[in-house]
Structure 1
Amino acid sequence: MKKFDRTETKNRKILDLEKIGFDDFYIAGFQKIKSVEDSKEMQTHTDMIEILYIDKGLQYYKLGQKELMLNGGDILIIPPEKRHGTNNHPEDTANLFWIAFKIPKNRNRLLNLPLIETKHLINTFLNLPSCHFKGNAKIATTFSKIFEYYDLNEKVNSKIHLTSLFLQLLLIVIDASHKNKMDNSPSQEISNIANYIKNNPRKELSISYLSDLINLSESRFKHRFKKEIGIPPGEFIMRNKINYAKENFSNYDSIQDLAFALEFSSSNYFASVFKKYTGSTPTEYCKDTLS
C-alpha cells in the first residue's frame, strides 16, 4: 500500500484527521491544479475507502481495469485494494476534494455509531451500484465546511463539528449514487456535433457556427454540450486540435506549419495551448516521442 501524500503547497491543502483524534477518518485534501502536472502513479490502499470529488475541471483516471473521464461534479469511490491513478495521463486542470476513511475491524465503530449502523454504512459503500456517478452542490459545500472547521487549536470543538459533517458527507454521497447514475450517452444532435468537431480539427469552428448547425442559441448550445459531453465546446475543440497535433507532427515541415494548419494565430499560441493540455511544449513532445 502506498501512503497518502501529505505534501502541502500553495494550491494543495491537507487535513491530518488523526491529529485531532479521529481513528476512522484518516486524511482529507483539496488541490487546485492550475496547469497540467505529472501523472499520478497507480496505487492501492488497504482496508480504506476513498471519496474523490471533482469540483471543477477534468481528470482521466484508471480504477482497476476501467478507464474513466471524470468531469466537474463527478464522484469516484475508490474501494480498498483497488489500483487507481491517472495511468500515464497527466493530471489535468481541476479542483479536487478527497477524503479517506478506514473500514473498522472487529467490533470497532465508525464515527462512534452503533455497530449495526457502522456495518450498514460500510456495506453500502462496498456495494454501491457504481463507483463513478454525478454528485451535487451539497457535496462541494460539505467538503468546504470540513476545511473550515478543521482547527488544531480547538481540537474538541473541531472534532464535534467534523463528526457531524463526515456523516452528512457519507449520506449525501450514498444518496447521489442512487439518484445520479452516470448516463454517458449524449443526444444524437450533440453527438453529431462532437463527431463533426473530431473530423475537422483543421477548421476554425466558432460556437455560433456550431450552434446554428442544430438550431440552438449559443448559450443553450454551450449548456447542453457541457452537460452531455462533460467539457465546454471551446475546450473540446482545442483538445481535439492538440490530439491531432500529437499524431501528425511528422506530416508537417515545421511546428509553425502545423500551428497554422490548425488555425492557431501563431506558433507561440499553439505552443502555450499544447503545453496546457499535455504538460510539454511541442518541441519537448517531439523529442520525447523520437527518443
Structure 2
Amino acid sequence: MNTVPYSDLVSYYVERPDRRAVDLREAGVPECVVLGQALYRHAYPPLQEHCHFGVVELAYVESGLQPYNLRDLDFTLFGGEGTIIPPDTRHGSSGQPSYPCKKAWIQLLLPEDRRFVSWLGLSSDEAQPVLEMLRCPANRYSKWPSDFPQRINRLFAVADRPPSPIRTAMLRTGLQHILFELLDRNVPETAPAYQLRVRKVIMWLEIHANDSPPVERLAREAGLSLSSFKRIFHSVTGMTPHAYILRKKIDRAMNLLLEGGKSVTDVAQECGFGSSQYFATAFKRMTGVSPNDVLRKRGITVPADTDGQ
C-alpha cells in the first residue's frame, strides 16, 4: 500500500491538462493541503490503494462515476455524490479503472492534539462537531449539496488572486461553508435495496452500453417495473436510461477516435450505432464537434465523402 505523507500530497497529483491541484497552505490556510479538480474524458488506470496520514479527503463526483474501496468496502460514486475518506484510511478503486468523470476533492490536515485551540479559523468548540464528522462520517457516501461544484470553482478563483489577508479569509470561509453544509447532512442514511439493484445495473452498463440493451431488460435485471426503474435510474444518475446509454457510447467513441487507427464508420459500428450518419449526428449534438473534426485535429486525412460530417 502506498502511504502519502501530507507534505507531499500536491506533488502526488501529477499535473495534467485534465487535472489541477493546489496547496492552500501557501495561501495562508495551513489546514488545506490539497484543493483538486479533474475532468477525465477517458478512463485511466485503477486508483492504487493508498492512505493519507492525518489527512481527511472529501471526494465528490459532479458527473460520470468513480469506483471506490474504503476499508475493503466497495461502492461507486455517481454524479452529485460524495464521500468522506477519514484520515489513515486505506482506499483505492479495487482494480476498477477511473472512469470518465468530472470530480473534485479537498484534503484537510486534522489537528493531532485533541486539545487544539483553533482549526480552520474555528474555535475548538465550533470545530469539534465538524472534526467528529470528518473522522467518523455517518454515511459511506451520500448526495452532496447541488452547489458544491460552484463552491469548488469559487475556491479556485479566489486561490488565483494575488496574496492578501482578504484572499486568505475568503478561502477559509469558503471551506467552512462546505464543511457546515456537509455537517448539516451528516445523518445516517440507508440506501433502499431497490436503489442498490439499480446501481448494479448502472455498473453493468459500463461494459455493455454498446449493446444498446432495451430499457425493459434493464428493469427486469433490477427486478423493478419499467416506470419504477426509470424513476430510480434518473434519481441516481440525473439522466434517463436512454440518455445514459447514449452518453456511454459517445464517450467510448471519442476514446476510439482519439486513439486513431479506425474510421468513423468502424467506430460507429463498434459502439453499437446503426449507421455512421446517426452516429455523427448524435456525436456532434453531445460533444459540439463532429467525428471528423476529432480526426482532423489528430492530423488524420478525412475522405470527402465520409459520413462523419
| Common fold: TM-score over 0.5 | yes
Correspondence list, 1:233-248, <5 A:
233-234=241-242, 235=244
Taking the aligned partners of 2:269 and 2:73, their CA distance within structure 1 comes to 32
Number of the residue aligned with 1:183: 191
What is the SS of the residue equivalent to 2:163?
Answer: helix
CA distance in 2, matches of 1:210, 1:98: 32
- 1:177/1:6 CA distance change after superposition, 3 Å: same
Q: Which residue in the other structure is 1:284 paired with? A: none
Preserved contact between residue 57 and residue 85 of structure 2 (Cα < 8 Å): yes
Aligned to 1:225: 233
Q: Secondary structure at the match of 1:154?
A: coil
The residue type equivalent to 1:183 in the other structure is A
Would the aligned equivalents of 1:133 and 1:182 in 2 still touch at CA under 8 Å?
no
Provide the residue aligned with 1:90 in structure 2: 97
- 2:51 partner SS: coil
Q: Which aligned segments of 4 or more residues in structure 1 are displaced greater than 3 angstroms?
A: 201-211, 213-216, 220-224, 228-232, 234-239, 266-273
Match of 1:165 in 2: 174
Deviation at 1:208, TM superposition (A): 8.6
Give the direction of change, closer, same or farther, for the CA distance of 1:21–1:226 in structure 2 (3 Å limit). Answer: same
Task: Check 1:270–1:67 CA distance in 2 against 1; reply closer, same or farther (3 A cut).
Answer: farther
The verdict on how the C-alpha distance between 1:205 and 1:40 changes in structure 2, with shifts beyond 3 A counting, is closer
**Aligned mates of 1:272, 1:209 — CA distance in 2:** 19
2:66 is equivalent to residue 65 of structure 1 = no
Residue 54 of structure 1 aligns to a residue whose secondary structure is strand
Structure 1 residue 77, shift from structure 2 partner: 0.5
Contact 2:69/2:93 (8 A) holds in 1: yes
Percent sequence identity over matched residues?
Answer: 19
TM-score computed with the length of structure 1 as normaliser: 0.69
2:138 maps to a residue whose letter is: P
The one of 13, 19, 30 equivalent to 2:20 is: 13
Residue 31 of structure 1: SS of its match in structure 2?
strand
Q: Which of 140, 146, 159 lines up with 2:155 in the alignment?
A: 146
Is 1:129 aligned to 2:138, yes or no? yes
Number of residues of Structure 1 aligned to a counterpart in Structure 2: 239
- The TM-score normalised by the length of structure 2 is 0.65
AA paired with 2:66? Q
Provide closer, same or farther for how the CA distance between residues 183 and 229 of structure 1 changes in structure 2, counting only shifts above 3 A: farther
60 and 236 in structure 1: CA distance in 2 versus 1, 3 angstrom threshold:
farther
> How far off its partner does 1:102 sit?
0.9
CA drift at 1:233: 2.1
Inter-partner Cα distance in structure 2 for 1:215 and 1:78: 35
The 1:20–1:185 alpha-carbon spacing in structure 2 relative to 1, beyond 3 Å, is: same
Distance 2:121 2:212 in 1: 59
Unaligned runs of 5+ in 2: 249-264, 273-309
Conserved? CA contact 2:53–2:87, under 8 Å: yes
How far is 1:21 from its partner?
Answer: 1.5
Matches within 5 A, 1:265-280: 268-269=267-268, 271=270
Q: Distance in 1 between matches of 2:19 and 2:237?
A: 28
Cα separation, 1, equivalents of 2:192 and 2:269: 31
Give the direction of change, closer, same or farther, for the CA distance of 1:152–1:90 in structure 2 (3 Å limit). same
Q: What is the CA–CA distance in structure 2 between the aligned matches of 1:210 and 1:91, rounded to whole Å?
A: 24
Q: Residue 37 of structure 2 corresponds to which residue in structure 1?
A: 30
Give 3-state SS (helix, strand or coil) of 2:37's partner.
strand
Which is bigger in relative contact order (C-alpha 8 A, separation at least 6)? 1
Aligned-partner SS, 1:81: coil
